[in-house]
Structure 1
Amino acid sequence: MVKQWMRIAAVASVMFCGRLAMAADVSGEWVAKVATPGEPQYAHVSLQVQGEKVSGSWGSSKVEGTLAGDKLELALTDEDGKPAGKLSATLNGASFAGSGTMAMRNRFGAAGGFGGGGGGRAAAEATVSWTMDRAATPPAAPRSIKFEPKELYATYSASVTPALHIFAGDVVHTWTADAGGVDAKGIRHRGGDSNIGPFYVEGALPGDTLALHLLKVRTNRATARQGTRINAHAVTAAYLVGAKYDPDFSGEWTLLPEKGIAVPAHPSEHMKNYSVPLKPMLGCISVAPPGDEQYRGGDLGPFGGNLDYNDNVEGTTVYLPVFHAGALLGMGDGHAAMGDGELTGSALETSLDVDFSVEVIKGDSTGQVRAETKDYLIAFGVTGSVPESIQVATSQLATWIKKQYSLNDSEVAILFASTLKYDITELVDAKYNVAAKVPKSILSTMK
């Protein structure tokens, strides 16, 4: 009888320890995917397990629940303390799958995906199916990766297969071609403002912001080419009709990085002493656009694309809203230098060597592209007209500064009226891009 009780106790102990082991294994970082009538929604999920009790976060929502064997039950509460969902799932291998109800808002959820609370329109409860997988484990230390592009792509779309998976902190050493697809060796790849990548950034989810740190942007060949006629968007019809351009005028440039300048390769009489400072920049920086949207390489929008901003140079950080898991970062269209607006339809087009790293800012979507240089905070406005682009850029910059510096609207009005600058970055493509910027030196006095 004693032996029988000992066997029962041993079995019970094994079952109890197994349950604890499973509970302990469930603790950590997860990525939830919720099927909706539209595109799937994602959330960063963090779980802590003590015995059968589960707690943690789902985006910006609070999570409480239970884990009994392989059965997970979760209740979500939003930032306002209101119920945000009830979910159940079963662990199958390394993944959970199940169903439940969630409060669905007509926007991306705050704090890293679907299920965030606060703001937006009133939530409507809906029945959903969902899955949850472990978040990818980053390497013990950031990696240094040499990436040799095998193929360039000229379409901004979530359907493009990632060329490389990277983590925040990894440093990627690579190169880009010019707008026509010509690289440093003179090899022609796909043109049309083609990009390298896309790079799948582990841990980046819709509702996040991807920070791209441009660590190195340098020319890697001695030549560049530029258009020789002003685009129709930049001049009056009368000037356009009356202009008498020389059909044989050369747009070829010689790059002299040791002197930091570019000079016309075949200068006219008046331009024999003409030179411009080298300022290597990336014309195209992008993430995959929302949903099933697809755009050609020369297009631009809230996803970035052919922004043609001449301060997207070495040392700049570009902030891009994430619309798809992994962000799908791309870049290309190297320029040796460019005036505002890309008035001839091209800059000093050349290939570049580029080093970059990324950072994922969870749960804080910019909505549009932003940038930060050593001197300025910058917000872009990409629309169908210059006046509307000014409005979008100004509004976005004001929203950013109000949040980051805790300023009120009156303080922002005084700040902008006394220090704001505008750059017209793109005049010659399907959409216009205006950059609104304020000096960081002024902002530093306001904290």
Structure 2
Amino acid sequence: MAHIKLLPMLLSLSFWASAQTPSVTGRWIVSTNYLGTPLTPLLNLEQTGDKVTGTGRGYKYAGTLHGTDLHLMATDEQGNTDEITATLADGKMEGMDTETDASDKAHPMILKFTAMLAPALEHPQPRTHEFTPTVFYRQVSPFNKPVLTINPGDTIHTTTVDAGGTDMNGVRWSLGGNPQTGPFYITGAMPGDVLVVHIKKLTLNRDWAESDDGLDERALNSDLAVKVKDNGKSIRWHLDRTAGTATPETPSEHLKHYTIPLKPMLGCISAAPGPAQAPPGTGDSGYYGGNMDFNEIREGATVYLHVANPGGLLYFGDAHAAQGDGELNGNALETSMDVEVTVDVLPNKRIGDPRVETAADVITMGLDGSLDDAFKEATSDMASWLAEDYKLTPSEIAQVLGTAAEYHVSEVADRNAGMVLKISKDRLATLVK
């Protein structure tokens, strides 16, 4: 009888012990220091019984969890190995990561790390944040302190200064070089996610802009280079916000009736690159976005950006009242602007380069040192988009690209040239997903 009486107690203790056994399933934010650089890679783990599998930093892991002790091993295609040993306690992980180069097995890299589960991506009641910037950054850095923390689905209403650092009242806040508003920290955004930036409103907040009469050297042959060798003077433009037009303030004889429509746009929009990369200046561009100078990043567009840091760290600035394809003058109609964006997150959705969506088109951005390479990047990323979202085969992708692709030169004025590939949504509507 005594044994029978003890049975419920033993079962209860067994259940209690099982309930206390930690689970490692989830997305873990790892914190470590690699040769003086703080890194926060993501480790995705899934547990079945005492077996654990996972992915992170290009490795595929397999291992076990016994009690609170985790052991994982991975080997890549080149024979490099990575071994993780860690202990779990109070929802945190602490351990050692040993990475061994196949060509130098005698000198493994051993790193201490801590990790915590990434917070669940939540969408509480959306809020609109009125934000007045007091600092503007000239590097798109993951090390700059966030100016505001928001939730997915929230809206930011704020302002930018122009490319020279001057605000709507003509007050200089920063040195030139496209100083940025931000960074904004988006709760729940993690490396391996995509930041979704809906541009709701772009409102010019002053009646003038500055440009010049130079032409970028990528656009010049030897004859044209000689003809424009004395160019380079500043041009000031009057912005008639009521009529929606811009005109040179002191036009030459042939341009005294020259008028262009206002098409406000953001020259720069970024999610900060990872800390392993030296923080780029705000005149540069890459997989993180940056100074893309694409004239369709304007009101109504949605920009998709690769997340490389917890929180995403969103920056934007370099407002243009108008710009032709390529930004041939080396700048556009540089001005300040009121900006309203709504920000969201697509979890576990990897993209390479920035993507843009408008009411009419889906658009991939190629950004590289030459237009040829930028052309290839834009094409490759669109092929990936069609394969991922529309499940097209390589043959089907080639047929769609060959009949529907539209290419535009977005940028030639900076280190990276830009080429965009557009496909009309009307064409894509005929595809069977």
Aligning the two structures, in what range does the TM-score lie when normalised by the shorter sequence? 0.7 to 0.9
Per the alignment, do residues 365 and 149 of structure 1 end up closer, same or farther by CA in structure 2, a change over 3 Å counting? same
1:296 alignment partner, SS class: coil
Give the counterpart of 1:428 among 410, 413, 416: 413
Per the alignment, do residues 74 and 363 of structure 1 end up closer, same or farther by CA in structure 2, a change over 3 Å counting? farther
Give the counterpart of 2:216 among 197, 220, 231: 231
| Runs of at least 5 residues in structure 1 that lack an aligned partner in the other structure | 79-83, 106-124
Matched to 1:186, the amino acid is: G
**Counterpart of 2:151?**
167
How many residues align? The count is: 410
Give the counterpart of 1:341 among 326, 344, 360: 326
**Counterpart of 1:242?**
227
CA positional deviation for 1:155: 1.1
Matched, 1:98 2:95: yes
Per the alignment, do residues 18 and 424 of structure 1 end up closer, same or farther by CA in structure 2, a change over 3 Å counting? same
What percent of counterpart residues are identical? 33
Stretch moving more, 222-231 or 342-351: 222-231
Cα distance in 1 for partners of 2:300, 2:52 equals 37
- Paired residues for 1:104-253 under 5 Å: 130-136=113-119, 138=122, 140-190=124-174, 191-243=176-228, 251-253=235-237
Matched, 1:361 2:346: yes
Matched, 1:308 2:293: yes
CA positional deviation for 1:424: 0.7
**Counterpart of 2:317?**
332
Matched, 1:377 2:374: no
Cα distance in 2 for partners of 1:56, 1:440 equals 42
**Counterpart of 2:87?**
89
**Counterpart of 2:378?**
393
**Counterpart of 1:116?**
none
CA positional deviation for 1:35: 4.7
Stretch moving more, 436-445 or 294-303: 294-303
| Runs of at least 5 residues in structure 2 that lack an aligned partner in the other structure | 76-81, 103-107
CA distances 1:83-137 after superposition (whole Å, capped 9, x unpaired): x987542314x533235789999xxxxxxxxxxxxxxxxxxx9987553324346
Contact 1:286 1:331 in 2 (8 A): yes
CA positional deviation for 1:22: 5.1
Matched, 1:41 2:24: no
Per the alignment, do residues 164 and 266 of structure 1 end up closer, same or farther by CA in structure 2, a change over 3 Å counting? same
CA distances 1:64-96 after superposition (whole Å, capped 9, x unpaired): 97685xx36577999xxxxx987542314x533
Matched to 2:391, the amino acid is: S
Matched, 1:350 2:347: no
Per the alignment, do residues 246 and 200 of structure 1 end up closer, same or farther by CA in structure 2, a change over 3 Å counting? closer
2:324 alignment partner, SS class: coil
CA distances 1:408-432 after superposition (whole Å, capped 9, x unpaired): 2222222222221111111111121
Cα distance in 2 for partners of 1:164, 1:46 equals 33
Cα distance in 2 for partners of 1:86, 1:427 equals 45
Matched, 1:297 2:294: no
Cα distance in 2 for partners of 1:85, 1:203 equals 28
CA distances 1:342-362 after superposition (whole Å, capped 9, x unpaired): 111111111111111222222
- Root-mean-square deviation (CA, aligned residues, Å) is 3.7
CA positional deviation for 1:259: 1.9
Cα distance in 2 for partners of 1:63, 1:166 equals 36
Matched to 1:33, the amino acid is: V
Cα distance in 2 for partners of 1:127, 1:183 equals 49
Matched to 2:247, the amino acid is: V
Cα distance in 2 for partners of 1:103, 1:165 equals 38
CA positional deviation for 1:400: 1.1
Contact 1:252 1:265 in 2 (8 A): yes
**Counterpart of 1:322?**
307
Cα distance in 1 for partners of 2:99, 2:326 equals 46
**Counterpart of 1:268?**
252
Per the alignment, do residues 62 and 231 of structure 1 end up closer, same or farther by CA in structure 2, a change over 3 Å counting? closer
**Counterpart of 1:32?**
29
CA positional deviation for 1:210: 1.6
